[in-house]
């Protein structure tokens, strides 16, 4: 009997809109736009980078600047900044939302089903700034051998369809608009790289389920599409407690790649997921192992691979997880979707 795997199946929203960040090596000056934070009480929250350039910081209430009803907060009145350390803290008179009022704040080993209204969306603030200590969001990743047909077709121009197939994250869960989903942003990026192509992005994901369901329910979902390139992203639900072990997960991904090639004649990019909230009761907290299984599946199937996990881990060297999670559990917010796209953009083919 099939059972629904435990996940948060919130509204699936699509993606795009973040200005591209220049590539850099560590220690270079670079700009960051729309970085998300949740700030509690007067506890400092870390930005992705320290050594913030004075005068460059803008903190607002919306991901995109200039959005209707967007509020720009005032330094000194609403928040204080440690420019050298790259931190922001609420003041005693701050109008910034107080994350200490979130129902999951301070909870350990929490069962989300016992808490109503656990979303983080009402608590985010978004920062633009420049740093003199920046580094690349994702390392260059040469996947030329796995995408020969896709590149040739894109370069030739004409219709080119990208289909995403995976769980609720792949479906775009928690992105605030369709344009801000990572696959829409990646389609936009590719359109700029291959201006003669007419790129269309379609999603065929199965929210709330896992890789085995991607195999079992093939005909109902991706079977109805006609892709040239498929972005395959599972792992979050597979990794939950009581679900599939990493070795079986790897085998499932290899099967899916084979099905896509045989039935659709399309090329495939497998991509890893990020670690969900460490305090969530239902996470196995082994996402690194599942990311490695995804990489191993791509190597076995000889398809392209994008390492989202490492990009996320780099950011988490400074930032807290809640600042990146739309539902405070296992869905990225707008900045998190942009991080996904940065990992894709770093892929050379």
pLDDT in tens, 93-144: 999 999 999 999 999 999 999 999 889 999 999 999 999 999 999 999 999 9
Q: What is the mean pLDDT of residues 170-183?
A: 95
**Distance, C-alpha 305 to centroid of its chain:** 15
Distances (CA, A) of 171 to 158, 174, 332: 25, 9, 11
Residue 316: is its pLDDT beyond 70? yes
The confidence band for 2, taking pLDDT boundaries of 50, 70 and 90, is very low
Residue 50: is its pLDDT beyond 70? yes
Residue 286: is its pLDDT beyond 70? yes
Residue 173: is its pLDDT beyond 60? yes
Helix axes 334-345 and 308-315, enclosed angle (nearest 10): 130
Residue 121, H or E segment? none
Distance CA 167, CA 113 (A): 20
Q: What is the mean pLDDT of residues 278-291?
A: 96
Beta carbons within 10 angstroms of residue 139's beta carbon: 12
**Distance, C-alpha 103 to centroid of its chain:** 24
Residue 9 confidence (pLDDT): 36
Residue 110: DSSP 8-state: B
* Residue pair 229/163 in contact by the 8 Å Cβ criterion: yes
**Distance, C-alpha 317 to centroid of its chain:** 16
Give me the sheet containing 79-82, strands edge to edge: 45-46, 87-90, 79-82
Residue 313 confidence (pLDDT): 96
Residue 24: is its pLDDT beyond 80? no
* Residue pair 164/207 in contact by the 8 Å Cβ criterion: no
Residues of the chain with CATH 3.40.50.1110: 141-348
In this predicted model, what pLDDT tens digit does every residue of 224-233 receive, in sequence order?
Answer: 999 999 999 9
Topology, domain 141-348:
Rossmann fold (3.40.50)
Residue 5: is its pLDDT beyond 70? no
273: nearest Cα among 256, 282, 285, 261: 285
- Percentages helix, strand, coil for the chain, rounded to the nearest 5? 30, 25, 50
The confidence band for 183, taking pLDDT boundaries of 50, 70 and 90, is very high
Residue 167 confidence (pLDDT): 97
Residue 201 confidence (pLDDT): 98
Beta strands in the chain (DSSP E): 28-37, 45-46, 58-60, 79-82, 87-90, 125-134, 141-142, 158-166, 197-203, 229-233, 267-271, 304-306, 347-348
Beta carbons within 10 angstroms of residue 213's beta carbon: 20
The confidence band for 26, taking pLDDT boundaries of 50, 70 and 90, is low
Distance CA 30, CA 346 (A): 16
């Amino acid at each position: 009997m099939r059972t629904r795997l435990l996940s948060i199946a919130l509204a699936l929203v699509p993606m795009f809109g973040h200005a591209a960040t220049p590539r850099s090596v560590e220690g270079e000056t670079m700009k960051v736009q729309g970085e998300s934070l949740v700030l509690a009480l007067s506890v400092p929250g870390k930005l992705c980078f320290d050594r913030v350039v004075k005068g460059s910081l803008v903190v607002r209430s919306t991901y995109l600047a200039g959005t209707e009803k967007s509020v720009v907060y005032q330094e000194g009145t609403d928040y204080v900044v440690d420019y050298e350390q790259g931190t922001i803290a609420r003041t005693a008179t701050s109008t910034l939302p107080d994350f200490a009022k979130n129902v999951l704040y301070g909870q350990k080993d929490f069962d989300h089903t016992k808490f109503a209204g656990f979303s983080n969306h009402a608590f985010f603030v978004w920062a633009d700034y420049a740093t003199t200590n920046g580094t690349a969001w994702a390392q260059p990743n040469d996947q030329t051998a796995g995408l020969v047909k896709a590149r040739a077709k894109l370069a030739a121009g004409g219709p080119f369809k990208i289909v995403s197939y995976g769980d609720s994250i792949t479906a775009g869960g928690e992105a605030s608009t369709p344009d801000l989903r990572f696959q829409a942003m990646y389609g936009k990026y590719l359109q700029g790289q291959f201006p003669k192509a007419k790129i269309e992005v379609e999603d065929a994901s199965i929210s709330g389920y896992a890789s085995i369901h991607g195999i079992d329910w093939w005909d109902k979902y991706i079977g109805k599409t006609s892709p040239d390139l498929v972005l395959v992203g599972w792992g979050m639900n597979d990794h939950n407690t009581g679900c599939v072990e990493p070795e079986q997960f790897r085998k499932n991904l290899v099967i899916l790649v084979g099905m896509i090639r045989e039935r659709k004649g399309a090329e495939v990019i497998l991509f890893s997921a990020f670690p969900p909230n460490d305090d969530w009761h239902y996470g196995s907290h082994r996402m690194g192992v599942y990311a490695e299984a995804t990489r191993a599946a791509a190597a076995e199937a000889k398809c392209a691979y994008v390492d989202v996990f490492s990009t996320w881990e780099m950011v988490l060297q400074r930032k807290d997880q809640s600042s990146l999670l739309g539902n405070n559990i296992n869905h990225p917010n707008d900045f998190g979707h942009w991080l996904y796209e940065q990992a894709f953009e770093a892929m050379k083919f």
